[in-house]
Every structure is written in C-alpha cells, then in structure tokens.
A and B are shown apart, each in its own frame.
Chain A
Amino acid sequence: MTHLLAAGPLRLRDIAPVDFVPIAVLLVLLMEREVIRARLGRARTVPQRVIDFAVFPLMILFLLFVGLRAYTMLGGPL
C-alpha cells in the first residue's frame, strides 16, 4: 500500500492547493444538502433550491477536474 501510494497513481502531488478549494466547498454544501433533506423531506423547498443552485457549478467544476485528470493519466496531451 505504501509502495502504491509512493508511486503517486493519482498524481495528487501535482495538484495545486487552490484546486482543492472548490472541492472543499462542494463537500460542505453536499453535507448540508443531506442535512436539510433529512430534516425537511424530499419536497423541494427554498433552502433546498438554494443549495442545489450552489452545488451545481461546483459539481460541474469537479467533474471537469476529474475528467481532465483521468484524461492526462491515460496519456492524453493537454
């Protein structure tokens, strides 16, 4: 396991710290979304719409980030 991590399969050390900022915000919002959903149910209320609105761009950015990482790991030039 140590050997595997030392090899850096995900190249996490190549990622700039600023890349983690929106991911951290996304995690906070996703947790909050679950808390609100557990409290208010599945019916879409204003707080749920607000959280969904905030989650949407960060989720797209996260998917872009993961897609680019996967593409470069597979050997695609960027």
Chain B
Amino acid sequence: MTTSAVLARPTRAARVSLAAGTTTFAAALAGCETAYRLAGALWGAVCFAALFLALVQVAAFAGRRKGTRPELAALVIAASMVPLDRLLVLSVPAVSYLRLYPNALWVVPMGLTAVYAYRSWWLPGARPKLVPGPGWAPLAGQAAMVVAGAELGVFAAYILPHPGPHVLLHQDTAKWAGAALFALAGAAEELAWRGALQRVAADAAGPLGAVACFAASAYVAVAWMGPGAAVPVIVFSGLATVVVYRTRCLAGAVAGHALLNMLLVMLR
C-alpha cells in the first residue's frame, strides 16, 4: 500500500514552497504567453522552450540533490508538459493536407508523451485506470462523462461561428485526417493532464493539486483554441478533474474529450 506524500509529510513549509513554486510557474507561463502575443510565434516558442529547459534542469537538480523530497522532481517534470505543449503547438510544421487543422501534427509527439508519462512507474501517485471497474456504478459514471462530452461538443459547434462552407460539404478524404487528429488531441490532453499531471500533483498537494492541474489544462485550452471555443472544453475539464479524482478512472474523460473535439469540428 502506498502512502500519499501529503499524509507522510504534512509540513507547512512544504505547502508554502509548493504554493510559491506554482505561483512562479504561472507567472513564467504568463510571461511566455505575453511574449507570444506581442512578438510572434518565434519569440513565443523561444520563451516556452527556455521555460521547458529550465523546468527540466530544476527537475534533474532536485533528483540529484540529497535531502530533497523525491516526488519534487516528478512534479516538476510533469508540470513541464504545459510549456512543452505550447512549444509543440507553436513550432510544429504545418501540413496543408490536413485541411481542417493544418497544425494538427503537434498531437503526435504530445500524445506519445502523454502515454509515456501515464505509463512511467517512477512518477508517484496512484495511476488512474483506463477501464472502469466491475459493476454498473463505475460504468455509469464513465458513460455520463461521454454523454457530457457529446453534449458539450454539440453546444460548442452551435455557439462558434464558422465563416466558410460546412465541413461535411468537402468531398475529399483529407478532412477526416485533420478531424481525427483534432479528436485525438482531446484524448491526448486528458491522458497528459488527468492521467499524469493530476496524479502527481494530487499526490503532492491533495485536492489543491488537482485544482492546479485543472487550471493548467484550462490555460492550455484557452491559449490553443481561444477563449470562445475553450469554454465548453474548460467545463468538461472541470468535470473530468472531479470524476477522475474521485473514481481514479480515465475512460470517460478520454472518450468524452475526444468526442467533444470531434463533434466541435464536424458539426459546425
């Protein structure tokens, strides 16, 4: 039986240092995002790359230094997925073949990193299951998440204006590749944020860690999709945070987010 780091070391100093670290991290992300908005994609990518490198150095240093809490390195490297996500979105080569979403290739490295992080046994915390447990109650909870994702996807497609012709009117098959990658982005993000980052953050800071993880995923959604399109995704992320934290099961969150993204891109 594993003991939570919160229960093992409930010191006030540790909580204060976690809060200070989270605030510094948020301020650094805000600075990078400001650089991107003011100076363009190149300088934004440079800033996110510098932040990513700095976090890797801090994690490696924390792992090397004796007397440091062992879960600190894992927490920092899991948090580094946030600037990594932004770096990939800004610097991935655009492929015009993917008509609905030419920059969708960032999903490939981010998705594989999410799988890598989810399966990393050295990251602390209880790993959420991908399949719900036996019985109707766990299955019903996950099914409710999928239904919520579908409803929010339809809602998002309804509220977002789309200037061009309807997506379903395109006669080529290339649109399906872009749409599939867009849907995969939702699944990859749930695996990264709820499957890896939330597990490490909740182990280090309890429910506050889960809240911080939700804030990180909300920030990524707003930065990626814009504030209007991100609202349904943020609502779904909030639901997924609670459900995964309570049930320790990822199936509904992954399937629901993929469905949300798919409906968002196909129905508008």
Binding site for B on A (CB under 8 A): 16-19, 21-22, 24-25, 28-29, 32, 36, 45-47, 49-51, 53-54, 56-58, 60-61, 64-65, 68, 77-78
Contacts and interface: CB of A to CB of B under 8 A. Distances in A.
Contacts of B45: 18, 21-22
A21 B42 contact: yes
A51 to B, nearest CB: 6
Contacts of B108: 60, 64
Say which size band chain B's interface belongs to. Answer: 35 or more
A21 B96 contact: no
Q: Which secondary structure dominates where chain B touches chain A? A: helix
Interface of B: 41-42, 45-46, 49, 52-53, 56, 59-61, 63-64, 70, 73, 77, 80, 84, 87-88, 90-93, 95-97, 105-106, 108-110, 112-113, 116-117, 120, 122
Contact of A21 (B46, B60, B73, B77): B46
B164 to A, nearest CB: 21
B70 A46 contact: yes
A56 B54 CA distance: 17
Given A57-B112, A60-B112, A78-B95, A50 B42 contact: no
Cβ-closest 8 pairs across A and B = A46-B63, A60-B109, A47-B60, A57-B109, A57-B113, A21-B45, A54-B56, A50-B59
B93 A19 contact: yes
A58 B52 CA distance: 11
A33 B112 CA distance: 20
Q: Which secondary structure dominates where chain A touches chain B? A: helix
Given A21-B42, A51-B56, A56-B113, A61 B96 contact: no
Nearest to A28: B53
Given A50-B56, A61-B109, A65-B93, 14 more contacts: A18-B42, A18-B91, A21-B49, A28-B53, A45-B64, A47-B60, A49-B120, A50-B63, A53-B77, A54-B52, A54-B80, A57-B110, A60-B109, A68-B95
Nearest to B53: A25
Nearest to A25: B49
A50 B73 contact: yes
Nearest to B52: A25
Contacts of A49: 63, 120, 122
A17 B39 CA distance: 14
8 contacts: A22-B45, A29-B56, A50-B59, A50-B77, A54-B56, A54-B77, A56-B113, A61-B109
Contacts of A54: 52, 56, 77, 80, 84
A64 B117 contact: no
Contacts of A56: 112-113, 116
A16 B43 CA distance: 12
Residue with the highest number of chain B CB atoms closer than 10 Å, among A17, A36, A54:
A54
B74 to A, nearest CB: 8
Given A64-B108, A68-B93, A22 B60 contact: no
